[in-house]
A and B are shown apart, each in its own frame.
Chain A
Amino acid sequence: MIGVAVGGGKTGTDQAASDRAARLGACLLRARDGETAALNEIISELNPLLWHVARGEGLGAEEAADVVQTSWLELLRRLHEIRSPQALTSWLVTATRREAWRVRELSRRQAADGTARLESAPDPDPGPGELLLADERDQILWRHVQRLPERCRQLLRIVAHVPRPDYAAVASAMAMPVGSIGPTRGRCLAKLREMLQADPGWSA
Protein backbone atom coordinates (compact mmCIF):
# COMPACT_ATOMS: atom_id res chain seq x y z
CA MET A 1 0.00 0.00 0.00
CA ILE A 2 2.75 2.40 -0.89
CA GLY A 3 1.67 5.97 -1.21
CA VAL A 4 -1.72 5.57 0.39
CA ALA A 5 -1.37 6.36 4.04
CA VAL A 6 -3.92 5.12 6.48
CA GLY A 7 -5.37 8.13 8.20
CA GLY A 8 -5.70 8.21 11.93
CA GLY A 9 -7.24 11.22 13.62
CA LYS A 10 -7.71 14.59 11.96
CA THR A 11 -4.39 16.19 11.23
CA GLY A 12 -3.86 19.92 10.95
CA THR A 13 -3.86 19.55 7.17
CA ASP A 14 -7.23 17.82 7.22
CA GLN A 15 -8.64 20.55 9.40
CA ALA A 16 -7.34 23.26 7.07
CA ALA A 17 -8.78 21.35 4.12
CA SER A 18 -12.25 21.10 5.57
CA ASP A 19 -12.18 24.76 6.66
CA ARG A 20 -11.28 25.65 3.12
CA ALA A 21 -14.08 23.51 1.67
CA ALA A 22 -16.58 25.18 3.98
CA ARG A 23 -15.35 28.64 3.00
CA LEU A 24 -15.49 27.83 -0.73
CA GLY A 25 -18.95 26.33 -0.28
CA ALA A 26 -20.16 29.56 1.30
CA CYS A 27 -18.55 31.57 -1.50
CA LEU A 28 -20.27 29.39 -4.07
CA LEU A 29 -23.69 30.10 -2.53
CA ARG A 30 -23.02 33.83 -2.46
CA ALA A 31 -21.65 33.80 -6.00
CA ARG A 32 -24.79 32.03 -7.20
CA ASP A 33 -26.76 34.90 -5.69
CA GLY A 34 -24.70 37.24 -7.81
CA GLU A 35 -22.20 38.50 -5.26
CA THR A 36 -19.14 39.65 -7.16
CA ALA A 37 -16.70 39.56 -4.25
CA ALA A 38 -17.55 35.91 -3.57
CA LEU A 39 -17.01 34.99 -7.22
CA ASN A 40 -13.68 36.81 -7.21
CA GLU A 41 -12.59 34.88 -4.15
CA ILE A 42 -13.37 31.60 -5.92
CA ILE A 43 -11.48 32.81 -8.97
CA SER A 44 -8.29 33.57 -7.07
CA GLU A 45 -8.60 30.31 -5.16
CA LEU A 46 -8.91 28.05 -8.23
CA ASN A 47 -6.94 29.94 -10.88
CA PRO A 48 -3.55 28.42 -9.99
CA LEU A 49 -4.98 24.91 -10.43
CA LEU A 50 -6.62 25.78 -13.75
CA TRP A 51 -3.46 27.48 -14.96
CA HIS A 52 -1.45 24.30 -14.37
CA VAL A 53 -4.15 22.17 -15.98
CA ALA A 54 -3.95 24.30 -19.15
CA ARG A 55 -0.14 24.46 -19.12
CA GLY A 56 0.03 20.74 -18.43
CA GLU A 57 -1.86 20.21 -21.71
CA GLY A 58 1.01 21.88 -23.52
CA LEU A 59 -0.39 25.35 -24.16
CA GLY A 60 1.70 28.51 -24.40
CA ALA A 61 1.29 31.10 -21.67
CA GLU A 62 -1.05 33.42 -23.60
CA GLU A 63 -3.17 30.55 -24.81
CA ALA A 64 -3.37 29.05 -21.34
CA ALA A 65 -4.55 32.38 -19.90
CA ASP A 66 -7.26 32.62 -22.60
CA VAL A 67 -8.38 29.08 -21.92
CA VAL A 68 -8.70 29.68 -18.18
CA GLN A 69 -10.71 32.81 -18.85
CA THR A 70 -13.06 31.06 -21.26
CA SER A 71 -13.72 28.30 -18.72
CA TRP A 72 -14.85 30.88 -16.17
CA LEU A 73 -17.10 32.59 -18.70
CA GLU A 74 -18.68 29.23 -19.52
CA LEU A 75 -19.05 28.47 -15.83
CA LEU A 76 -21.34 31.45 -15.29
CA ARG A 77 -23.94 29.88 -17.53
CA ARG A 78 -23.91 26.75 -15.37
CA LEU A 79 -23.26 28.19 -11.94
CA HIS A 80 -26.85 27.68 -10.78
CA GLU A 81 -26.52 23.91 -11.41
CA ILE A 82 -23.37 23.48 -9.31
CA ARG A 83 -24.02 22.43 -5.75
CA SER A 84 -20.68 21.82 -4.05
CA PRO A 85 -17.08 23.05 -4.12
CA GLN A 86 -16.04 19.59 -5.33
CA ALA A 87 -18.47 19.79 -8.23
CA LEU A 88 -17.19 23.28 -8.97
CA THR A 89 -13.55 22.19 -9.07
CA SER A 90 -14.42 19.18 -11.17
CA TRP A 91 -16.51 21.20 -13.62
CA LEU A 92 -13.79 23.79 -14.08
CA VAL A 93 -11.00 21.25 -14.52
CA THR A 94 -13.07 19.41 -17.13
CA ALA A 95 -13.95 22.61 -18.98
CA THR A 96 -10.34 23.80 -18.91
CA ARG A 97 -8.99 20.53 -20.28
CA ARG A 98 -11.60 20.42 -23.02
CA GLU A 99 -10.97 24.02 -24.02
CA ALA A 100 -7.20 23.41 -23.89
CA TRP A 101 -7.56 20.48 -26.29
CA ARG A 102 -9.68 22.62 -28.62
CA VAL A 103 -7.13 25.43 -28.66
CA ARG A 104 -4.23 23.02 -29.08
CA GLU A 105 -5.96 21.45 -32.07
CA LEU A 106 -6.57 24.90 -33.58
CA SER A 107 -2.91 25.84 -33.14
CA ARG A 108 -1.85 22.60 -34.69
CA ARG A 109 -4.12 23.06 -37.68
CA GLN A 110 -3.01 26.64 -38.18
CA ALA A 111 0.62 25.60 -37.89
CA ALA A 112 -0.02 22.92 -40.51
CA ASP A 113 -1.58 25.58 -42.75
CA GLY A 114 1.59 27.57 -42.43
CA THR A 115 -0.49 30.44 -41.13
CA ALA A 116 1.57 32.80 -39.03
CA ARG A 117 0.41 32.60 -35.48
CA LEU A 118 0.94 35.65 -33.39
CA GLU A 119 1.42 33.46 -30.37
CA SER A 120 4.63 31.60 -30.02
CA ALA A 121 4.61 27.84 -30.20
CA PRO A 122 3.47 26.19 -27.01
CA ASP A 123 6.12 26.35 -24.33
CA PRO A 124 7.24 22.96 -23.18
CA ASP A 125 7.42 22.19 -19.50
CA PRO A 126 9.63 24.72 -17.77
CA GLY A 127 12.99 23.38 -18.86
CA PRO A 128 16.27 23.93 -17.10
CA GLY A 129 14.37 25.42 -14.22
CA GLU A 130 17.07 24.58 -11.73
CA LEU A 131 18.69 27.89 -12.53
CA LEU A 132 15.63 29.66 -11.15
CA LEU A 133 15.55 27.66 -7.96
CA ALA A 134 17.73 29.01 -5.19
CA ASP A 135 16.92 26.35 -2.63
CA GLU A 136 19.01 23.23 -3.02
CA ARG A 137 16.22 20.86 -1.99
CA ASP A 138 13.95 22.48 -4.56
CA GLN A 139 16.62 21.85 -7.21
CA ILE A 140 16.92 18.21 -6.20
CA LEU A 141 13.16 17.74 -6.20
CA TRP A 142 12.83 19.33 -9.63
CA ARG A 143 15.67 17.26 -11.06
CA HIS A 144 13.95 14.04 -9.99
CA VAL A 145 10.49 15.16 -11.09
CA GLN A 146 11.94 15.70 -14.56
CA ARG A 147 12.96 12.04 -14.61
CA LEU A 148 9.43 10.79 -14.00
CA PRO A 149 7.37 9.52 -16.93
CA GLU A 150 5.33 12.22 -18.69
CA ARG A 151 2.04 10.95 -17.27
CA CYS A 152 3.34 11.05 -13.71
CA ARG A 153 4.69 14.57 -14.18
CA GLN A 154 1.35 15.78 -15.55
CA LEU A 155 -0.59 14.14 -12.77
CA LEU A 156 1.63 15.36 -9.94
CA ARG A 157 1.64 18.86 -11.37
CA ILE A 158 -2.12 18.97 -11.09
CA VAL A 159 -2.44 16.98 -7.88
CA ALA A 160 0.01 19.33 -6.15
CA HIS A 161 -2.48 22.14 -6.80
CA VAL A 162 -5.69 20.29 -6.01
CA PRO A 163 -7.30 21.09 -2.67
CA ARG A 164 -7.31 17.86 -0.66
CA PRO A 165 -11.05 17.14 -0.44
CA ASP A 166 -11.36 17.55 -4.20
CA TYR A 167 -9.14 14.65 -5.27
CA ALA A 168 -12.08 12.42 -6.14
CA ALA A 169 -13.75 15.15 -8.17
CA VAL A 170 -10.54 15.86 -10.04
CA ALA A 171 -10.03 12.16 -10.66
CA SER A 172 -13.30 12.02 -12.52
CA ALA A 173 -12.53 15.27 -14.32
CA MET A 174 -9.27 13.75 -15.46
CA ALA A 175 -11.40 10.96 -16.96
CA MET A 176 -9.87 8.36 -14.71
CA PRO A 177 -11.86 6.03 -12.54
CA VAL A 178 -11.89 7.35 -9.00
CA GLY A 179 -10.23 4.24 -7.62
CA SER A 180 -7.30 4.69 -9.96
CA ILE A 181 -6.07 8.21 -9.31
CA GLY A 182 -5.13 7.24 -5.75
CA PRO A 183 -2.91 4.32 -6.69
CA THR A 184 -1.60 6.19 -9.71
CA ARG A 185 -0.87 9.22 -7.63
CA GLY A 186 0.53 6.80 -5.06
CA ARG A 187 2.72 5.07 -7.63
CA CYS A 188 4.06 8.33 -9.01
CA LEU A 189 4.77 9.60 -5.52
CA ALA A 190 6.37 6.31 -4.52
CA LYS A 191 8.68 6.48 -7.49
CA LEU A 192 9.59 10.05 -6.69
CA ARG A 193 10.14 9.25 -3.04
CA GLU A 194 12.42 6.38 -3.97
CA MET A 195 14.58 8.63 -6.11
CA LEU A 196 14.65 11.33 -3.48
CA GLN A 197 15.66 8.94 -0.74
CA ALA A 198 18.51 7.62 -2.87
CA ASP A 199 19.79 11.16 -3.34
CA PRO A 200 22.27 12.01 -0.59
CA GLY A 201 21.55 15.70 -1.07
CA TRP A 202 17.88 15.16 -0.20
CA SER A 203 18.12 12.90 2.80
CA ALA A 204 21.04 14.79 4.31
Chain B
Amino acid sequence: MTSPADLPLSDEDQAVLDRLAEVYARLDPAPADLNARVSFAVALAGVDAEVARLSEQLAVGSGARSSERTRTITFDADSRTVMITIADQADGLVRLDGWLAPGAELRVELRMPEPAQPRNVIADAAGRFAFDGVPHGIAQLLVHPPAGDAAPRVVTPAFSL
Protein backbone atom coordinates (compact mmCIF):
# COMPACT_ATOMS: atom_id res chain seq x y z
CA MET B 1 0.00 0.00 0.00
CA THR B 2 1.24 3.45 -0.84
CA SER B 3 1.48 5.72 2.16
CA PRO B 4 0.97 9.47 1.76
CA ALA B 5 4.69 9.90 2.23
CA ASP B 6 5.35 8.02 -0.98
CA LEU B 7 2.97 10.05 -3.10
CA PRO B 8 4.71 12.28 -5.58
CA LEU B 9 4.90 15.96 -4.79
CA SER B 10 3.29 18.52 -7.02
CA ASP B 11 5.70 19.87 -9.59
CA GLU B 12 5.56 23.21 -7.86
CA ASP B 13 6.53 21.82 -4.44
CA GLN B 14 9.21 19.70 -6.04
CA ALA B 15 10.65 22.79 -7.71
CA VAL B 16 10.67 24.66 -4.37
CA LEU B 17 12.44 21.75 -2.65
CA ASP B 18 15.01 21.47 -5.44
CA ARG B 19 15.72 25.17 -5.22
CA LEU B 20 15.96 24.91 -1.44
CA ALA B 21 18.51 22.11 -1.78
CA GLU B 22 20.57 24.40 -4.02
CA VAL B 23 20.29 27.27 -1.55
CA TYR B 24 21.54 25.03 1.25
CA ALA B 25 24.34 23.79 -0.98
CA ARG B 26 25.44 27.39 -1.42
CA LEU B 27 24.96 28.57 2.18
CA ASP B 28 26.17 25.51 4.05
CA PRO B 29 28.03 23.15 1.76
CA ALA B 30 29.61 19.99 3.08
CA PRO B 31 33.40 20.43 3.33
CA ALA B 32 35.07 19.89 -0.02
CA ASP B 33 37.12 17.01 1.35
CA LEU B 34 34.27 15.19 3.11
CA ASN B 35 33.90 12.46 0.48
CA ALA B 36 37.65 11.92 0.30
CA ARG B 37 37.92 11.81 4.07
CA VAL B 38 35.11 9.27 4.42
CA SER B 39 36.48 7.12 1.60
CA PHE B 40 39.90 7.15 3.20
CA ALA B 41 38.52 6.25 6.63
CA VAL B 42 36.40 3.33 5.45
CA ALA B 43 39.01 1.84 3.11
CA LEU B 44 40.46 -0.47 5.77
CA ALA B 45 37.50 -0.75 8.08
CA GLY B 46 35.01 -3.55 7.70
CA VAL B 47 32.84 -6.06 9.45
CA ASP B 48 35.68 -7.05 11.73
CA ALA B 49 36.68 -3.57 12.84
CA GLU B 50 35.53 -1.91 16.01
CA VAL B 51 34.95 1.83 15.64
CA ALA B 52 36.64 4.08 18.18
CA ARG B 53 34.50 7.19 18.39
CA LEU B 54 35.82 10.63 19.02
CA SER B 55 34.96 11.41 22.60
CA GLU B 56 37.05 14.45 23.41
CA GLN B 57 39.20 16.96 21.62
CA LEU B 58 41.08 19.50 23.65
CA ALA B 59 43.58 22.22 23.04
CA VAL B 60 46.27 21.64 25.65
CA GLY B 61 47.84 25.03 25.19
CA SER B 62 50.74 26.28 23.17
CA GLY B 63 54.29 25.07 23.42
CA ALA B 64 57.34 27.21 23.99
CA ARG B 65 56.72 29.04 20.76
CA SER B 66 53.36 30.49 19.96
CA SER B 67 53.37 28.71 16.60
CA GLU B 68 53.42 25.36 18.37
CA ARG B 69 50.05 23.85 18.91
CA THR B 70 49.31 20.85 21.05
CA ARG B 71 46.02 19.07 21.28
CA THR B 72 44.75 15.79 22.59
CA ILE B 73 42.10 13.61 21.07
CA THR B 74 40.41 10.71 22.83
CA PHE B 75 38.70 7.92 20.93
CA ASP B 76 36.52 5.39 22.74
CA ALA B 77 35.87 1.88 21.47
CA ASP B 78 34.07 -0.82 23.43
CA SER B 79 37.25 -2.74 24.06
CA ARG B 80 39.81 0.06 24.39
CA THR B 81 40.40 3.79 24.63
CA VAL B 82 42.96 5.44 22.38
CA MET B 83 44.26 8.80 23.48
CA ILE B 84 46.69 10.84 21.41
CA THR B 85 48.55 14.08 21.82
CA ILE B 86 49.53 15.87 18.64
CA ALA B 87 52.31 18.42 18.86
CA ASP B 88 53.87 20.55 16.14
CA GLN B 89 57.61 20.05 15.76
CA ALA B 90 60.06 22.81 14.88
CA ASP B 91 60.73 21.20 11.48
CA GLY B 92 57.13 21.59 10.32
CA LEU B 93 56.27 17.97 11.01
CA VAL B 94 54.22 16.71 13.92
CA ARG B 95 54.82 14.29 16.75
CA LEU B 96 52.08 12.02 17.92
CA ASP B 97 52.22 10.50 21.40
CA GLY B 98 49.62 7.91 22.20
CA TRP B 99 48.30 5.78 24.98
CA LEU B 100 46.10 2.70 24.89
CA ALA B 101 43.90 1.83 27.83
CA PRO B 102 43.89 -0.87 28.90
CA GLY B 103 47.58 -0.95 28.03
CA ALA B 104 48.99 -3.85 26.04
CA GLU B 105 51.87 -4.55 23.67
CA LEU B 106 49.85 -4.20 20.52
CA ARG B 107 50.76 -3.11 17.02
CA VAL B 108 49.53 0.41 16.30
CA GLU B 109 49.33 1.48 12.68
CA LEU B 110 49.25 5.07 11.47
CA ARG B 111 47.64 5.30 8.05
CA MET B 112 47.95 8.29 5.78
CA PRO B 113 46.52 8.80 2.29
CA GLU B 114 48.57 7.29 -0.50
CA PRO B 115 51.29 7.53 -1.60
CA ALA B 116 52.43 7.77 2.05
CA GLN B 117 53.23 4.35 3.49
CA PRO B 118 51.55 3.26 6.72
CA ARG B 119 53.81 3.32 9.77
CA ASN B 120 53.74 0.74 12.54
CA VAL B 121 54.94 0.79 16.13
CA ILE B 122 54.42 -1.58 19.04
CA ALA B 123 52.95 -0.06 22.17
CA ASP B 124 54.77 -0.82 25.40
CA ALA B 125 53.16 -2.87 28.15
CA ALA B 126 51.68 0.29 29.64
CA GLY B 127 50.09 1.08 26.29
CA ARG B 128 52.36 3.95 25.30
CA PHE B 129 53.39 4.55 21.71
CA ALA B 130 54.73 7.42 19.59
CA PHE B 131 55.17 8.48 15.97
CA ASP B 132 57.81 11.08 15.23
CA GLY B 133 58.19 13.30 12.18
CA VAL B 134 54.73 12.81 10.74
CA PRO B 135 53.64 15.16 7.93
CA HIS B 136 50.53 17.32 8.28
CA GLY B 137 47.42 15.97 6.66
CA ILE B 138 44.77 13.43 7.49
CA ALA B 139 45.57 10.23 9.31
CA GLN B 140 43.89 7.26 10.95
CA LEU B 141 45.00 4.86 13.68
CA LEU B 142 44.43 1.12 13.72
CA VAL B 143 45.14 -0.99 16.77
CA HIS B 144 45.75 -4.59 15.79
CA PRO B 145 44.99 -7.56 18.01
CA PRO B 146 47.87 -9.94 18.77
CA ALA B 147 48.52 -12.43 15.97
CA GLY B 148 46.16 -15.38 16.27
CA ASP B 149 43.77 -13.45 18.47
CA ALA B 150 40.24 -13.22 17.12
CA ALA B 151 39.65 -9.83 18.78
CA PRO B 152 38.58 -7.11 16.34
CA ARG B 153 40.90 -4.39 15.11
CA VAL B 154 40.11 -1.00 16.53
CA VAL B 155 39.89 1.80 13.95
CA THR B 156 39.59 5.52 14.60
CA PRO B 157 37.91 8.00 12.30
CA ALA B 158 40.29 9.97 10.13
CA PHE B 159 41.59 13.09 11.90
CA SER B 160 43.67 16.07 10.86
CA LEU B 161 47.29 16.37 11.86
Do A73 and B157 touch across chains, with their CB atoms under 8 A apart?
A: yes
Q: Which residues of A contact B43 (CB under 8 A)?
A: 36
Q: Which residues of B contact A43 (CB under 8 A)?
A: 35, 38-39, 42
Q: Which residues of B contact A6 (CB under 8 A)?
A: 7
Q: Is B114 an interface residue (CB 8 A)?
A: no
Do A47 and B35 touch across chains, with their CB atoms under 8 A apart?
A: yes
Task: Fill in one digit per residue for B19-54: 1 if any A CB lies within 8 Å of its CB, else 0.
Answer: 111111111101100110111011101110101011
Q: Which residues of A contact B22 (CB under 8 A)?
A: 138
Q: Which residues of B contact A87 (CB under 8 A)?
A: none
Q: Is A97 an interface residue (CB 8 A)?
A: no
Q: Is B9 an interface residue (CB 8 A)?
A: yes
Report the minimum CB–CB distance from B28 to chain A (whole Å): 5
Do A145 and B20 touch across chains, with their CB atoms under 8 A apart?
A: yes
The contact of A80 among B19, B47, B56, by CB within 8 Å, is B47
Q: Which residues of B contact A157 (CB under 8 A)?
A: 20, 24
Do B17 and A156 touch across chains, with their CB atoms under 8 A apart?
A: yes
Do B57 and A118 touch across chains, with their CB atoms under 8 A apart?
A: yes
Q: Is B148 an interface residue (CB 8 A)?
A: no
Alpha-carbon separation in the docked complex, A17 to B25 (Å): 20
Do A70 and B21 touch across chains, with their CB atoms under 8 A apart?
A: no
Q: Is A159 an interface residue (CB 8 A)?
A: yes
Q: Is A151 an interface residue (CB 8 A)?
A: no
Do B20 and A72 touch across chains, with their CB atoms under 8 A apart?
A: no
Q: Is B149 an interface residue (CB 8 A)?
A: no
Instruction: Give 9 A-B pairs besides A13-B11, A182-B3 with Cβ atoms closer than 8 angstroms.
Output: A36-B39, A52-B28, A70-B54, A73-B157, A74-B51, A138-B19, A138-B22, A138-B23, A182-B7
